[in-house]
């Protein structure tokens, strides 16, 4: 069982993703914006982070960059989960340190595949 941090400012999205994560047998931690996500990553050291992009305070690109550049959290894979579906958004997200990019609305099977690829067996 992995510990997965879900960072999203939408309560309904947070709940939907949390259900998928828990259905797979993982522990779900949550944060409601990028700044809280960075703090939770430092404090909790999750096995993986699912990060929204469009959020107040610190957006997902900024939070991902902060997490991937911090020696204490740089080992944690970040998956951007967002409505931003342009190729330029994906390229930019991966340049910020994300390991994968999943677009909303989330297809459960795509998220499951991504988690299996990035979590240690």
Domain residue spans of the chain? 3-118
Average pLDDT over residues 12-23: 96
For 73-101, the pLDDT digits (tens) are: 999 999 999 999 999 999 999 999 999 99
Concatenating the DSSP letter of every residue in 29-55 gives EEESSHHHHHHHHHHH--SEEEE-SS-
Question: What average pLDDT does the structure give for the chain?
Answer: 96
- 121, pLDDT greater than 80: no
Average pLDDT over residues 11-30: 97
- 16, pLDDT greater than 80: yes
Average pLDDT over residues 13-34: 97
How many angstroms separate the CA atoms of 49 and 54, rounded? Answer: 15
Helix (H) or strand (E) holding 60: helix 60-69
pLDDT value for 120: 79
pTM of the model: 0.97
CATH architecture of 3-118: 3-Layer(aba) Sandwich (3.40)
- 39, pLDDT greater than 80: yes
């Amino acid at each position: 069982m992995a510990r997965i941090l879900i960072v999203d400012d939408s309560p309904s999205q947070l709940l939907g993703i949390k259900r998928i994560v828990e259905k797979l047998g993982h522990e779900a931690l949550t944060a409601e914006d990028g700044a809280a996500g960075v703090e939770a990553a430092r404090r909790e050291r999750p096995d993986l982070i699912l990060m929204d992009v469009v959020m107040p305070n610190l957006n997902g690109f900024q939070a991902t960059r902060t997490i991937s550049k911090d020696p204490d959290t740089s080992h944690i894979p970040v998956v951007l989960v967002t409505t931003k579906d342009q190729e330029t958004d994906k390229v930019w997200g991966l340049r910020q340190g994300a390991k994968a990019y999943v677009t909303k609305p989330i297809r459960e099977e795509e998220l499951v595949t991504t988690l299996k690829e990035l979590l240690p067996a």
